[in-house]
Amino acid sequence: MEVLRTRRLGHSFLRVTFGGESLADFRSGGHDQSLSLFLPPPHREHTALPSTQEDTWFGAWRAMPDEERPVMRSYTVREQRRTPAGTVEVDIDFVLHGDSSPASQWAGRAVTGRRIQAIGPAVERNKSVRFQPPADTDAYFLYADETALPAAAAILERLPAGAEVRAWFEVPHADDRLEPATRADAEITWVVRGPGAGRERTDRVLDALRAAEPPAARAPYVWLAGEAGTVRAVRRHFVQERSVDRRAVRFTGYWRLGASEEELLAEAYAGRAPSEEPGAEL
């Protein structure tokens, strides 16, 4: 993919719009669709993977020399569209926090013409879309921190008119409160992160949840994404305090305090990552 343009959305968010001929074969399933970006090492301007084939790319990527191996990061497809000229564009929203992470560092320096490789689906119905509510859902409850806010906003934009939604979005700064366009009947509570980390930030989110009176629902669906520890605590809140059937809760840890994505990826491939299936134990 090639960087076409960038746009600052708020204190912490930058939207990068990509184009490229290979996007003609990319099929986003919408909602919280993710894809894998490969960020070049500091001494390289563009990325180049030895293989992008489904069965061989991971082994080929892992076998690259450390100094040449691109950093892999998962990101949400904020929007995919076809232009009047017939080309395909993809928007990806990055959270900027200086040079403290490879993705923030790359996005902060992204300029028109810079190329990056990605691996994503060629079919719309794919396992990387985790938002899969049952047909009889009568209310939606969403939680996202800034890393999952693009996914939550994409979900809200696709919900039908009149859908009952209660959402809690946690952001680092007040001007990160980016109101998504939606036809749904959505009530959003913004939790602006204050001082403190770990337990303090989780408690702040739980306080906002406990202070709310969500609509009564016969068949609610809960979608949670963000820092893994907070996501687990919010899941327990809905299951244990709100009596929501755990099978109706889809939860995803986009990151974990104190762990790199490389460590999380290694845990996943070693089978040590906690299950994110709706029926998993609390």
Torsion of CA 17, 18, 19, 24, to 10 degrees: -110
CATH number for region 139-269: 3.40.50.80
> What architecture is the 2-119 domain classified under in CATH?
Beta Barrel (2.40)
State mean pLDDT over 95-99: 90
State mean pLDDT over 182-211: 90
Q: How far is CA 213 from the centre of its chain?
A: 26
The reported pLDDT for the residue numbered 259 is 66
The reported pLDDT for the residue numbered 100 is 82
Q: How far apart are CA 245 and CA 195, in angstroms?
A: 33
Among the residue ranges 99-103, 216-220, 266-270, the one predicted with the least confidence is 266-270
State mean pLDDT over 226-231: 94
> Is the model's pLDDT at 262 over the cut of 90?
no
Q: Which residue has the tokens 């809905």?
A: 238
The reported pLDDT for the residue numbered 90 is 98
> Is the model's pLDDT at 272 over the cut of 80?
no
Predicted confidence (pLDDT) per residue in 134-183, tens digit = 999 999 999 999 999 999 999 999 999 999 999 999 999 999 999 899 99
Domain boundaries, the chain: 2-119, 139-269
Strands 249-255 and 220-227: parallel
Helices (H), the chain: 57-62, 102-108, 149-158, 199-210, 228-236, 261-269
> Is the model's pLDDT at 279 over the cut of 70?
yes
